Amino acid sequence: MPHANLIITNARIITMDKAKPFAEAMAISGNRISKVGSASDVMALRGPKTRVHDNRGNTVIPGIIESHVHLFIGAAELPLLNIYGIHGFETIAAAVKDHRSKNPGLAFLHVIGATHEHFGAGTPITRQLLDRIVADIPFALGCFDHHTVWANTKALEVTGLLRGKVLPTGNEIVMG
């Protein structure tokens, strides 16, 4: 086997192999992953021009090439209430109430994972509907696709949108 161009060591490599789900090192030869395994096994592919990278225990997921991944957004959303899979006004209102009780002192409530049909087919998501769930603090309900956000009256007031704030070109506010 030829020498590797790059060896990554001291890593938490996710292999997707149920028998051995993690490895500590991997080698890349040309544009291919040539070896994944223990540091000693992988270092056998080291040559005089091999670059060795200490990954300092960080995670590597080999072979995943995703040009539109939202890692930062996904990480930022981890502590938020995700209502994906929860449907109906009463169920959503109860989930929001529970989330607020576990997170007292929130100055702003951002809930994610909604769809246009979360409150029932034909039920539009309006600020008045959201006000029935949360009226005392700004409340934003984000669509799972990250392209739509519904807001309660308090959120629209705080952002100036109820007073005719001018938006940058390409943005749209639908008042309901």
Residue 100 and residue 96: Cα distance in Å, rounded? 6
Residues of the chain whose pLDDT is less than 50?
A: none
Question: Which pLDDT does position 176 carry in this prediction?
Answer: 61
**Judgement on whether residues 15 and 53 belong to the same structural domain of the protein:** yes
Task: Write down the residue that tokens 């929130």 correspond to.
Answer: 106
Same domain for 28 and 92, yes or no, is: no
The CATH number of residue 136's host domain is 3.10.310.70
- pLDDT score, position 132: 98
Whether 18 is covered by a domain: the verdict is yes
Residue-level pLDDT at 170:
82
- Token representation of residue 146: 């990250």
Q: How far apart are CA 51 and CA 163, in angstroms?
A: 58
Regarding whether 52 and 17 lie in a shared domain, the answer is yes
Q: Same structural domain for residues 56 and 108?
A: no
Give residues with Cβ within 8 angstroms of 40, minimum separation 6: none
Q: Quote the pLDDT of residue 95.
A: 98
pLDDT at 84: 93
Structure confidence at residue 98 (pLDDT):
98
Domain boundary (40, 60, 80) is at: 60
Element (H, E) at 160: none
pTM comes to: 0.61
Mark whether 25 and 76 lie in a shared domain: no
Of the residues 32, 60, 88, which one is the last residue of a structural domain? Answer: 60
Q: Amino acid letter at 134? A: V
Give the other-Cβ count within 10 Å of 52's Cβ: 15
Contacts of 5 (CB under 8 A, 6+ apart): 28, 29, 30, 49, 50, 51
- Is the domain of 116 the same as that of 159? yes
According to the model, what pLDDT value does residue 112 have? 96
Q: What is the pLDDT of residue 66?
A: 65
Alpha carbons 45 and 58: distance in angstroms, whole number: 22
